[in-house]
């Protein structure tokens, strides 16, 4: 990284930290994460959760960004048991040097930090994240994360999450699928469409829900709680 670029990033980081110190971030904004769903679905339907950009952090990176010994503050349960939105938000910086602020942190902490954004976000940041299953970050895009106490420069870890469906083993049996299968999904929204290559994830702790990002949801005119159908 050359001295001019480093100077520009340092100035942006300074401005971001000043904004963090002034801003009130106690309230989750509508649509910032996939929040806990209480929708009841028919036998052949799958509820949808729409996921905005968000960040998963390792313990080491939590302490770099927020200070030694810092603990994330759970704010709102997500649709999958044990997952939650945190009070904390951070800023993302890419090669464009146009920061995206107030990006929600999701807990609990992970073994490795990961940033999930949409294709639209990638145009703003000028990064080139691959479409990946969550956790598959090897060879993915670099990104800079700015917090109130420090900066983390990920060499890899920025992805666009693939379309996927969480389900329990009993749900998988009902739909006739297994973990890591790929299915086709029909969407009966304002813009009727069909999604291909949707990954199935099966675990005893999962709650039935399909996860898509804001680009996908906006393209077909649906939101949290919409229903889709797996094509058999």
Q: Return the higher-pLDDT residue of 11 and 167.
A: 167
**Beta carbons of 189 and 221 less than 8 angstroms apart:** yes
When pLDDT is cut at 50, 70 and 90, the band that residue 31 belongs to is: very low
**164 token code pair:** 């996927």
The CATH classification of domain 164-231, taken from the options 2.30.30, 3.30.70, 1.10.10, 2.40.40: 2.40.40
Query: How far apart are alpha carbons 82 and 32 in whole angstroms?
Result: 18
Round to whole Å and give the CA distance between 160 and 87. 23
Q: Where in the chain is the domain with CATH 2.40.40?
A: 164-231
pLDDT at 13: 72
The predicted-structure confidence for 73-125, as pLDDT tens digits, reads as follows 999 999 999 999 999 999 999 999 999 999 999 999 999 999 999 999 999 99
Q: Which of 14-23, 170-179, 197-206 has the lowest mean pLDDT?
A: 14-23
DSSP assignment of 58-93:
EHHHHHHHH-TT----EEEEBSSTT-EEEEEEEEEE
pLDDT digits (tens, 9 = 90+) for 42-87: 567 999 999 999 999 999 999 999 999 999 999 999 999 999 999 9
Sequence-separated (6 or more) residues with CB below 8 Å from residue 166: 79, 80, 201, 203, 206, 207, 208, 209, 210, 211
User: Residue 180 gets which letter from DSSP?
Assistant: T
- pLDDT above 90 as % of the chain: 78
Residue 172 has pLDDT above 70, yes or no: yes
């Amino acid at each position: 990284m050359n001295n001019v670029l480093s100077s520009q990033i340092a100035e942006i980081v300074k401005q971001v930290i000043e904004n963090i110190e002034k801003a009130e971030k106690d309230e989750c904004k509508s649509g910032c994460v996939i929040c806990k769903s209480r929708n009841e679905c028919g036998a052949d339907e799958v509820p949808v959760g729409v996921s905005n950009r968000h960040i998963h952090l390792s313990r080491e990176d939590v302490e770099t960004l927020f200070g030694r010994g810092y603990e994330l503050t759970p704010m709102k349960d997500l649709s999958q048991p044990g997952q939650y939105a945190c009070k904390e938000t951070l800023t993302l910086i890419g090669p464009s040097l146009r920061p995206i602020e107030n990006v929600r942190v999701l807990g609990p902490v992970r073994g490795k930090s990961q940033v999930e954004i949409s294709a639209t976000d990638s145009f703003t940041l000028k990064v080139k994240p691959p479409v990946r299953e969550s956790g598959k970050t090897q060879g993915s895009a670099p990104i800079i994360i700015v917090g109130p106490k420090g900066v983390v420069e990920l060499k890899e870890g920025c992805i666009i999450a693939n379309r996927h469906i969480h389900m329990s083993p009993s749900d998988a049996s009902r739909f006739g699928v297994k973990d890591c299968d790929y299915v086709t999904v029909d969407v009966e929204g304002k813009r009727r469409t069909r999604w291909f290559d949707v990954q199935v994830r099966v675990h005893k702790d999962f709650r039935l829900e399909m996860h898509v990002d804001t680009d996908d949801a906006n393209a077909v005119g649906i939101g949290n709680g919409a229903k889709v159908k797996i094509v058999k």
